[in-house]
Amino acid sequence: AQKVTQAQTEISVVEKEDVTLDCVYETRDTTYYLFWYKQPPSGELVFLIRRNSFDEQNEISGRYSWNFQKSTSSFNFTITASQVVDSAVYFCALSEPSYNNNDMRFGAGTRLTVKP
Amino acid sequence: ETGVTQTPRHLVMGMTNKKSLKCEQHLGHNAMYWYKQSAKKPLELMFVYNFKEQTENNSVPSRFSPECPNSSHLFLHLHTLQPEDSALYLCASSIGTALSTDTQYFGPGTRLTVL
């Protein structure tokens, strides 16, 4: 069963629009970690955020914000006032330490294109 | 630049060839990873090394053979590959292997095409 679902395969917006990338996860653990990574055209995955299951506070970092809701098993990512440099593939991932502390289960990714 | 370099960036090989992918990290980390990113599948963990010892082999076929001579270098030796092995192979490193606290830093990947 897929542990992390990113239902949006591709999103295209115009610069300065706000955009939300959805992530829904599945776990039976009470302790788990959620991540977002950005993969620009250069290829490397860039870490954006880690959130543990006990911290449901929303987080804001500049134009980026994350909304973690355990009730709906979602960890959505919003980019405010998007820019062309935000164009990338964004991955959500889940780590379940009781299952395997080494492994992250990645979603399929959402390709975001920001047009000027 | 994330501090993790991979060579070559692109590789085309036939099914009977033997080649190796190289990863080097300049971050002083102790753990290194190989991931496979296929067009049709989510990113998959292949191998994990911690202090040069392999701690994870995620049911990877034996035609992929990892080698970690020290904590800064990781190789993936390839032989008798299949066309379905064509993918982007990503290397990552982290201080330790506890994902609860240790962030993974990724290299740019090697784009492998098997003919």
- Percentage of chain B with pLDDT > 70? 99
Structure tokens at A1: 């069963």
Contact B78, B63 (CB under 8 A): yes
* Residue A46's pLDDT band (cuts 50, 70, 90): very high
* Phi/psi at A87 (5° precision): -60, 120
Amino acid identity, residue B25?
Q
What does the pLDDT average to over B22-47? 93
* Residue A97's pLDDT band (cuts 50, 70, 90): confident
- A103:B99 CB<8 A: yes
Instruction: Write out pLDDT tens, residues B53-90.
Output: 888 888 899 999 999 999 999 999 999 999 999 999 99
Q: How far does the CA of residue B97 sit from the closest CA of chain A (Å)?
A: 6
> SS3 for A96?
coil
Tell me the C-alpha distance between B6 and B10, whole Å. 10
Strand partners, B27: none
Tell me the C-alpha distance between B57 and B64, whole Å. 11
Contact A112, A13 (CB under 8 A): yes
- With CA atoms as reference, the chain B residue closest to A42 would be B108
Contacts of A71 (CB under 8 A, 6+ apart): none
Query: Looking at the partner chain, which of A4, A47, A91 has a beta carbon nearest the beta carbon of B103?
Result: A47
Amino acid identity, residue B45?
L
| Per-residue confidence (pLDDT) for residue A92, from 0 to 100 | 97
What does the pLDDT average to over A86-94? 96
Strand partners, A64: A61, A79
| Per-residue confidence (pLDDT) for residue B16, from 0 to 100 | 87
Mutate to test the interface with B, among A49, A103, A105 (most CBs of B within 10 A): A103
Tell me the C-alpha distance between A73 and A90, whole Å. 18
Residue A28 in this model has a pLDDT that exceeds 80: yes
- With CA atoms as reference, the chain A residue closest to B100 would be A33
- Percentage of chain A with pLDDT > 90? 77
Tally of CB atoms within 10 A around B71 = 17
| Per-residue confidence (pLDDT) for residue A1, from 0 to 100 | 52
